[in-house]
Amino acid sequence: MAEHRRGANLPAIGGFNRTVVLDAIRRSTDGLSRVELADRTGLSPQTVSNVTRHLIDAGMVVESGTVVAGRGKPRTILRLEPTSRYAVGVHVDPAVVTSVLLDLTGAVVAGASVPTPSAANPDDVVSTMADAVERLVTDAGVDRAAVLGVGVASPGPIDPERGVVLDPPFLPRWRDVPVRDALAAATGLPVLLEKDVTAAAVGEMWLTDEASARNFAFVYYGTGFGVGLVIDHEPLRGSGGNAGDAGHIMIDQGLLAELPEGPAARRMSDRGSRGVGTAPVTTRATRSGEGRAEVGDTVTPERLVRFGAAAGLDIGAPWATGDGPTDVAAVDAAFSELSALVAEGDPIARAIAAAAGTAMGRAVVVIVNLLDVDRVVFGGPFWSRIAVEALPAAAQAIASSPVLVAKHPVVVEQSEIDEDVTAVGAACLVLDTTLSPRASTLLIDR
């Protein structure tokens, strides 16, 4: 059985103990009795009784049936009341603003996506976010007083202390935008700001079983490449809240080292026909050492689209063979065309998707070696579209790496949360901040 977070039998920390009990109940799909809660949390029966009485009075926990366990009277089962509290999550992306409403268990009650009006105008984006929040709450018929707050996931870098988005590379006109305070003023709700990769990791941590959520890396594939980290049940944010910028890790690009022209395109087709999860392709660039580059530059959706266009794929992207700037919506549409070819079994498209997975897997080896995690989860807005080829290729790249230090198995899997993982994670951030136990809350201020 997984190790559960432990409480303390001290009179001044009732808030911490309430979160310990809530966390234990929400992680048990069948509910828990008070006796089981005392056993799992380390709290005394009297403390458990006091805490659960408070939670029942607050409407967050309900008594739900009884169970007979040996002699004595039947034990009453306690479960979360899903509709007692809600949280909203918003993901700000250069192309789309995605928002979700979660209940207390983390289940999605409602969701919506709208095109980002103009990523160049932060005021318009904040207004769009506020409208989305209002529509979600109103259309779902949720009592506004039951909404705990709004979590916002944004590309980094951010300043979480001030609630400011600093200067994200894919939102070039955003400089010191006070997203948190502006959205709080527009909605009247508490707002938390988090970096997108960390928000995705928080969502995965909150919605998976406790054992799997202890130590893992969440590989986030969106407009850019990043890694969200959870160590001992805590998201790793770093001193400035911007941990996870893994795009600068240098890798061997393999098949993606040079644009495919002529014979190179034929090699890609041959590789796709043989099965993309086999031995890596060696090109002139990789033999000469020119094939090393940053993983973030290697696997961007735009670069994969340009790669596919250069290989002759019909993905509706005539701009992809030029050198000019591209619109994020155009890249998204062309990437969807590329992923459709992957699903159809096109050998070149499959090879490109697998090569991207291999490149990401090689970068992840560095993370696994550094932090000794035993679980790697892939997800993000663009991931699921190429996962059928990219996931097995990434897993093979990790397991077969000659520089992998870990002597224990490393589980490599895809997140069960869909493309809205970042928005879901942003909402889970509110739930996690409000409801999950934090040992730091026991520290005495002097």
Strands 216-221 and 375-379: parallel
Q: How does pLDDT run across 373-416, given as a tens digit for each residue?
A: 999 999 998 999 999 999 999 999 999 999 999 999 999 999 98
pLDDT at 4 (0 to 100):
54
pLDDT at 288 (0 to 100):
38
Q: Name the nearest CA neighbour of 160 among 435, 378, 433, 421.
A: 433
pLDDT bin (cut points 50, 70, 90) of residue 11 is: very low
Task: Determine which of 79-88, 120-129, 349-358, 362-371 has the lowest per-residue pLDDT on average.
Answer: 120-129
Question: Please, is 421 exposed, middle or buried when counting C-beta atoms within 10 Å of its C-beta (0-12, 13-18, 19+)?
Answer: buried
Task: Determine which of 121-125, 131-135, 148-152, 384-388 has the lowest per-residue pLDDT on average.
Answer: 121-125
pLDDT at 324 (0 to 100):
62
pLDDT at 195 (0 to 100):
96
Residue 275: half-sphere exposure toward Cβ, Cα within 13 Å: 4
Q: How does pLDDT run across 70-91, given as a tens digit for each residue?
A: 666 788 999 999 999 999 999 9
pLDDT of 277 higher than 50: no
pLDDT at 282 (0 to 100):
37
pLDDT at 12 (0 to 100):
35
pLDDT of 275 higher than 60: no
Strands 61-67 and 32-33: unpaired
Residue 148, number of CB atoms within 10 A of its CB? 19
Are 243 and 201 spatial neighbours (Cβ–Cβ below 8 Å)?
no
Residue 273 Cα distances to 53, 266, 276, 315, 329, angstroms: 63, 11, 8, 20, 31
pLDDT of 329 higher than 60: yes
Model pTM greater than 0.75? yes
Q: How does pLDDT run across 216-241, given as a tens digit for each residue?
A: 999 999 988 999 999 988 899 999 99
pLDDT at 228 (0 to 100):
97
Task: Determine which of 172-181, 232-241, 318-327 has the lowest per-residue pLDDT on average.
Answer: 318-327
pLDDT at 214 (0 to 100):
85
pLDDT of 289 higher than 90: no
Q: Name the nearest CA neighbour of 97 among 78, 73, 125, 61.
A: 125
pLDDT bin (cut points 50, 70, 90) of residue 325 is: low
Token pair belonging to 9: 């039998």
pLDDT at 350 (0 to 100):
97
What percentage of the chain has pLDDT greater than the value 90?
64
